[in-house]
Structures are given as structure tokens and as C-alpha cells.
Amino acid sequence: MKLKAFKTALPYTLPICIGFLFIGMSYGFLMKSKGFPLIYPVVMSCFIFAGSMEFVTVNLLMTAFNPLHAFILTLMVNARHLFYGISMLDKFKNVGLKKLYLIYGMCDESFSINCTVEPPADIDRGWFMFFVTLLNQIYWVSGATLGALLGYLIHFNTKGIDFVMTALFVVMFTDQWERTADHRPAIIGLGCSLICLLVLGGNNFMIPAMGLILLCFVLTKNRGARKETIK
Amino acid sequence: MTTSQSVITILVVVLGTMLTRFLPFIIFPEGKTPPKFITYLGGVLPYAVIGLLVIYCLKGAVFTSYHGLPELIAIVCIIILHKWKKNMLLSLAGGTIIYMVLVQTIFC
């Protein structure tokens, strides 16, 4: 039963394998180039297991110690998980203890497969989702480890390599932009953050920016609701 | 940052991440439906957070002598490359290499 579920899950994860190895490797390599020992990317990719946040954590580790800021930033960056969770409430029912691991390992990619793929009737759904999640995590941790190891072997001028994080978010932003017709949320996110950065400077803008974004959403939601009632 | 401060920071990030993953299953045990406002935020927040993260990445660059010009050039290249080839890995590698070349040769 487990083997069959594994064989069904594997092909769905292969495209993610390529992406995770590549991005994981750039993450591991980046950490090594910033002077962190191998154990850091390995532990962080294992236990944080949320790609964007791991890149952001590299920055956090290189600035002044501020756990409260780190905590709020994590909640904000990973807030989407709340909504993944809400979408998966039903699907994770009756899968036993595996549920704990499914929730723990619910990264964007595992969520997108588990949420959309309907395994054939003779496949155990719980084990299918378990292997999707496990395989993806193995790819990611392997990528990060390989990247860091590569950092010990290859030496070149790495100045500017941290831009891989910017590139990742720009690509995600472009993808999201093309996937939806309503660009207001994207513009609110970009605009509020930029205004706060220019007014408050690089060290203090994140939390006010998050507050401003939430405020904008609260205000535009009311407007949207009022429009509906007028109709 | 000392090692113990790094460990605490990583623990805090792990804790925050796990909180966002486990919270829905704790608040809404089987059968309970989440309120409308939460579902609404679920729809819009992912888009805004990526915008926030783009700006977060540029927070240092804006206040340097080039005011983020090399970053801007590389970002425009990434968007063009990504719209043209639609290949995430190519866009990431291409954009990063362009930026590295820029800051190591022209804007150094």
C-alpha cells in the first residue's frame, strides 16, 4: 500500500525536485558564502522548511539581534500557511498521525500538489500526501546541503550572489501578477512597503509596512462590501 | 550576532513558521468554518507579501550611492526574461548573473 502510494506520488514531485535542488543549492551556497558553517543551512532547511523565510533568515542572522521583529516578520511572511491550512482542513482528516507531519511539511509546493491532485481510488490518500511532502522536503534539504558543500569546493567572486533572493521574489511577483486580473493586492503590498521604506529607512520599515498593508485591506474590503450592497 | 543569539533567532523563526502551519488545525477542528474576513485575507495577503519581500530585498540598495540602479536593471531583465521564456530557473540564474556582473564590473 505504501509502495503504491510512493510510486503514484513520485512523478508529481519530479518537476519540484529540479526547482528545489536549484533554489536549495543557491540557498546553501549563499549561506556558505556569508560565512555560515554547513550545519546552518542543513538545520534551517530541515526545521524551518519554508524557502522564502529561510532566505529572509539569512538577513536576520546578519543584522542586530531582535527576536520580536524576527517573530512578527515570520508570521507575516508565512501568513499564507494559515490559508493553506484552512484549505486542507478537510483533506487532512482521518489520516492518523501522519497529519502532524503533513502540517509540519506543508510548503507551497507540497500544498499545491496535495490540494489539487486527486490520487486514484486504490491509492491511500494519506500515504500519497505523506510521500509528496516527504519527497519535497528531501529535495530541499539535499539542495541546501549540496549548495553549502559546493561553497567549500568552488571559490569565485561571490559579490552580488544574495541577489538570488531578490530574483526569486521578483519571479514570484511576476507569476502572481500574470495569474490574476485583480492587481490591487500586489500594488498595495509593493506601494505600502516602498512608502514606508522611503519615509522610515531600511531598519524600521517592515512592521509599519505590514500594519499599513493590513489597514489597506481592511479599508478596501469595506469598500468592496459596500459596493456589493449598492448593487 | 553571537551563536546563542543566532540559535534563538532560528528557533523563533521555526516557532513562527510552525504556528502559521498548525494554527488553523487547532482553531478549526473538524467541521468548523473560518470567518469571512480570514478567508478574504487568505485571498489577498499572498500577493501583497511578495511585494513586501521585493522591497525588503532592496532596503539596503535604495540608500547607496547608486540608489538601486544596478538592482533596477537586473529586475527589469528578470521580468523580461521571465515573460519571454517563462522558465523560473532560467530567470533566477540569468538575473543573478546579470546583477553579479553589474556590481563586479560597472557599479563597483
Query: pLDDT tens digits for A211-229?
Result: 899 899 999 886 654 444 4
Q: Answer positive or negative: Cα dihedral of A208, A210, A211, A212.
A: positive
Considering only residues 103 to 132 of chain A, which have any Cβ-Cβ distance to chain B shorter than 8 Å?
Answer: 103-104, 106
Is B88 touching A (CB cutoff 8 A)? yes
A143 and A222 together in one domain: no
More confident residue, B99 or A51: B99
A119 and A217 together in one domain: no
Q: Which range of residues forms the domain containing residue B6?
A: 1-33
User: Which of the listed residues A126, A159, A192 is the one where a domain comes to its end?
Assistant: A159
pLDDT value of residue A223: 60
Q: Decide if B93 is inside a domain.
A: no
Considering only residues 136 to 155 of chain A, which have any Cβ-Cβ distance to chain B shorter than 8 Å?
Answer: none
A47 and A127 together in one domain: yes
A23 and A87 together in one domain: yes
pLDDT digits (tens, 9 = 90+) for B13-57: 999 999 999 998 998 876 677 788 877 877 787 788 889 889 988
Is B27 touching A (CB cutoff 8 A)? no
Q: Which range of residues forms the domain containing residue A108?
A: 2-159
Hey, how many other C-beta atoms are within 10 angstroms of the C-beta on A206?
Answer: 23
**Domains in chain A: how many in total?**
2
**Domains in chain B: how many in total?**
1
Rounded mean pLDDT, A134-148: 96
Q: Decide if B68 is inside a domain.
A: no
Q: Please determine, for residue B75, whether its predicted confidence score (pLDDT) is greater than 90.
A: yes
pLDDT averaged over every residue in chain A: 89
B40 to chain A, minimum CA–CA distance in Å? 8
Q: Decide if B9 is inside a domain.
A: yes
Q: Decide if B101 is inside a domain.
A: no
A198 and A115 together in one domain: no
Rounded mean pLDDT, A132-152: 96
Q: Decide if B11 is inside a domain.
A: yes
Q: Decide if A165 is inside a domain.
A: no
Q: Decide if A167 is inside a domain.
A: no
Q: Decide if B53 is inside a domain.
A: no
ipTM: 0.88
Rounded mean pLDDT, B74-87: 95
Q: Please determine, for residue B5, whether its predicted confidence score (pLDDT) is greater than 50.
A: yes
Q: Decide if B89 is inside a domain.
A: no
pLDDT value of residue B31: 66
CB contact under 8 Å between B56 and A56, yes or no, is yes
